[in-house]
């Protein structure tokens, strides 16, 4: 059976593509490309590499090297993530939930939040003032609406209560 030149080229390139997805060095380069744009957690980066076609072994081997070289650090990622969410006016519960979804250990999450050193009561108050103004809620319906807003932002009940007592 004779193959056309296009079929022969497709076979050659297919083999080369398959090999690159098994190569930890190639996976490392792709991981560095991702890290050049922003910080990533270890598990999040593994998932991104696998989505690009790299197998788990090549991905994890590449990321171990990046970790040893200090290019990938879960704590640095968590701290950066916490700062960014804090600047958006998000509360601690929402930040914890999002970091858990990125499969970071609770110890790292707690450390990153502690490093942030934020007055969550004040942040809840600022978020409420920004959204609803200085006038306190007059009726139950408006108070409930403001409470739901702050709850969706990730503030705990103590912070919410304090922010409503202006």
The answer to whether the pTM exceeds 0.75 is: yes
pLDDT in tens, 110-160: 999 999 989 999 999 999 999 999 988 989 999 999 999 999 999 999 999
Please indicate, yes or no, whether residues 87 and 104 belong to a single structural domain of this protein: yes
Kindly tell me the burial class for residue 70, based on how many C-beta atoms sit within 10 Å of its own C-beta (0-12, 13-18, 19 or more).
exposed
The residue segments making up the domain with residue 130 are 120-164
Give the pair of three-digit tokens for residue 159.
Answer: 């912070």
- Count how many domains the chain has: 3
- Average pLDDT for residues 69-90, to the nearest whole number? 96
Confidence at residue 101, expressed as pLDDT on a 0 to 100 scale: 95
Q: Judge whether residue 77 has pLDDT over 80.
A: yes
Listed range (4-8, 27-31, 103-107, 162-166) with the worst mean pLDDT: 4-8
Please indicate, yes or no, whether residues 90 and 109 belong to a single structural domain of this protein: yes
Query: Is there a contact between 98 and 81 (Cβ–Cβ < 8 Å)?
Result: yes
Please indicate, yes or no, whether residues 132 and 104 belong to a single structural domain of this protein: no
Please indicate, yes or no, whether residues 104 and 126 belong to a single structural domain of this protein: no
Confidence at residue 24, expressed as pLDDT on a 0 to 100 scale: 85
Please indicate, yes or no, whether residues 84 and 109 belong to a single structural domain of this protein: yes
Q: State the pLDDT confidence band at 22, using cuts at 50, 70 and 90.
A: confident
Please indicate, yes or no, whether residues 139 and 156 belong to a single structural domain of this protein: yes
Highest-pLDDT range among 95-99, 136-140, 160-164? 95-99
| Rounded-to-integer distance, Cα 17 and Cα 52, Å | 12
Q: Which of 73, 110, 113 is nearest to 90 (CA)?
A: 113
Please indicate, yes or no, whether residues 62 and 9 belong to a single structural domain of this protein: yes
Please indicate, yes or no, whether residues 57 and 37 belong to a single structural domain of this protein: yes
Average pLDDT of the residues of the chain = 90
Q: Judge whether residue 20 has pLDDT over 80.
A: no
Please indicate, yes or no, whether residues 13 and 63 belong to a single structural domain of this protein: yes
Please indicate, yes or no, whether residues 34 and 59 belong to a single structural domain of this protein: yes
Boundary residue ending a domain (51, 68, 85): 68
Please indicate, yes or no, whether residues 111 and 129 belong to a single structural domain of this protein: no
Q: Judge whether residue 8 has pLDDT over 80.
A: no
Specify the CATH number for the domain of residue 152.
Answer: 1.10.10.10
Please indicate, yes or no, whether residues 15 and 48 belong to a single structural domain of this protein: yes
Q: CB-based contacts of 9: which residues, under 8 Å, 6+ apart?
A: none
């Amino acid at each position: 059976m004779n193959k056309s030149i296009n079929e022969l080229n497709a076979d050659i390139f297919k083999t080369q593509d398959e090999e690159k997805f098994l190569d930890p060095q190639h996976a490392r380069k792709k991981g560095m490309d991702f890290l050049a744009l922003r910080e990533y957690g270890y598990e999040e980066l593994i998932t991104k590499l696998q989505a690009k076609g790299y197998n788990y072994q090549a991905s994890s081997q590449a990321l171990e090297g990046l970790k040893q070289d200090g290019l990938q650090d879960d704590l640095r990622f968590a701290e950066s993530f916490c700062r960014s969410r804090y600047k958006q006016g998000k509360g601690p519960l929402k930040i914890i939930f999002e970091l858990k979804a990125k499969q970071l250990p609770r110890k790292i999450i707690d450390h990153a939040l502690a490093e942030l050193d934020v007055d969550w009561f004040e942040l809840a108050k600022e978020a409420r003032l920004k959204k609803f103004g200085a006038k306190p809620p007059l009726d139950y319906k408006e108070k409930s609406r403001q409470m739901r807003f702050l709850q969706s932002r990730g503030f705990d009940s103590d912070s919410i209560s304090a922010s409503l007592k202006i």
